[in-house]
Amino acid sequence: MEFSQEVFLHSLAQTSPYPFLIPVEKAEGVYLYTPDGKSYLDMISGIGVSAIGHRHPHVIQAIKNQLDKHLHVMVYGEYIQATPNLLAKKLASLLPASLNCSYFVNSGTEANEAALKLAKRYTGRTEIVSCKKSYHGSTHGSLSVSGNEIKKQAYRPLLPDVTFIEFNNLVDLKKITSRTACVIMETIQGDAGVRIPTKEYLQAVRKRCDETGALLILDEIQCGMGRTGKLFAFEHFGIVPDILTIAKAFGGGLPIGAFISSEEKMKTLTHDPILGHITTFGGNPVCCASALATLEVIEKENLVSTVESKGKLIEDLLRHPKIKAMRRIGLLFAFDFENEAIVNNIVQHAKENGVICYWFLSHPNSFRIAPPLTITEEEIRKACTIILEAIDKS
């Protein structure tokens, strides 16, 4: 009864007519396990969350240590607690000096919602510029600045005064003006099928924001935390955002996000009105303990240094005439095929044979791979063999 499909399908709200329906009893490392003992190699890291694998021992110990002290004690921003303090200090040590102040929230979409508020409050402006094909979350504000019209239409009206530009298009940057409060973009567009900007483009975005006084928000909810071969993806491009948003892999398996800026900018949320942004559960000490331990694992195990070689191995192994295009940065991949039906067949066949890959919401002709950074060469070869078999049979 614990793993009843009937309960899952009718007592839990569904997100689509086609759930994956894998009963998960436990997870360890790069594997998921069903109650009957079948294993699945998780080549998508729970959609980017389990970047250091499932249940890393250091993370589990940090969570247990915090459980022995206290859970929630007060809404965000009132009590001094050790783990949020340590996490904020750690992030400041890893980021450029202008990103020295963190605000912890519960998810990626909340981080983006708050970042938009901060930009409006700090600049006194209202226009938001975002990119076509972008994905920033599914709450109203985040949906408003996301580029998938099919996902948005049923929920209009959304936020007003949002302008969309073409990602990687230098000419479109003229649409950023002195009316613009902020430009929000994914450093790497994930849901659009791993769209990678040129260094010239992101540097031009930074320059245009500086010229107009607009703030640059970089959404690294999916591409941050070592996924691209740098701890933060913006490090590839020689720029620094005014506001950075992170989540997913940040929590090591627990729900936490953050928006990060300068102390000067963050102070604008403390007055006129006070509590300009507030959250009950943001900065939860157990989630902060897990996030801090995750950063420590990435650092101590030098995981970022292995990302490129592992990504290159997957790129070399997954070659097939049916693949129309492959886009990769680090361990984030999109593989394009002729149509959606082929992709569905590949994903289903791989699942039946113990490998989890997945499609993109906004680019159904592709499937994604984003395995844990801890994956071994042997596990990569095993997964790629099964994926190639799935492509052959698609």
- Per-residue pLDDT of 248-264, as tens digits, reads 999 999 999 999 999 99
Answer whether residue 23 shows pLDDT above 80. Answer: yes
How far is Cα 174 from Cα 35, in angstroms, rounded to an integer? 56
What per-residue confidence (pLDDT) applies to 361?
81
- pTM higher than the cut 0.75: yes
- Per-residue pLDDT of 270-286, as tens digits, reads 999 999 999 999 999 99
**Average pLDDT of the residues in 212-229:** 98
Answer whether residue 369 shows pLDDT above 80. Answer: yes
What per-residue confidence (pLDDT) applies to 1?
64
What per-residue confidence (pLDDT) applies to 363?
86
Categorize the per-residue pLDDT at 362 as very low, low, confident or very high, splitting at 50, 70 and 90: confident
CATH number of 5-55+302-393: 3.90.1150.10
Please, which contacts does 83-92 make with residues 24 or more away whose CB atoms are closer than 8 Å?
83/285, 83/286, 83/288, 83/289, 83/292, 84/283, 84/285, 84/288, 86/288, 86/292, 87/288, 87/291, 87/292, 87/295, 90/292, 90/295, 90/296, 91/258, 91/260, 91/295
Is-same-fold flag (5-55+302-393; 58-300)? no
Helical residues (DSSP H) of 135-226, grouped into ranges: 140-144, 149-152, 199-212
Answer whether residue 49 shows pLDDT above 70. Answer: yes
| Burial (CB count <10 Å: 0-12, 13-18, 19+), residue 226 | buried
**Average pLDDT of the residues in 308-326:** 97
**Average pLDDT of the residues in 200-222:** 98
Tell which CATH classification among 3.30.390.30, 3.40.640.10, 3.40.1480.10, 3.40.430.10 matches the domain 58-300.
Answer: 3.40.640.10
DSSP 247-269: -GGGGBTB--EEEEE-HHHHGGG
Domain ranges of the chain: 5-55+302-393, 58-300
Categorize the per-residue pLDDT at 138 as very low, low, confident or very high, splitting at 50, 70 and 90: very high
What per-residue confidence (pLDDT) applies to 183?
99
> What average pLDDT does the chain have?
97
- Per-residue pLDDT of 285-297, as tens digits, reads 999 999 999 999 9
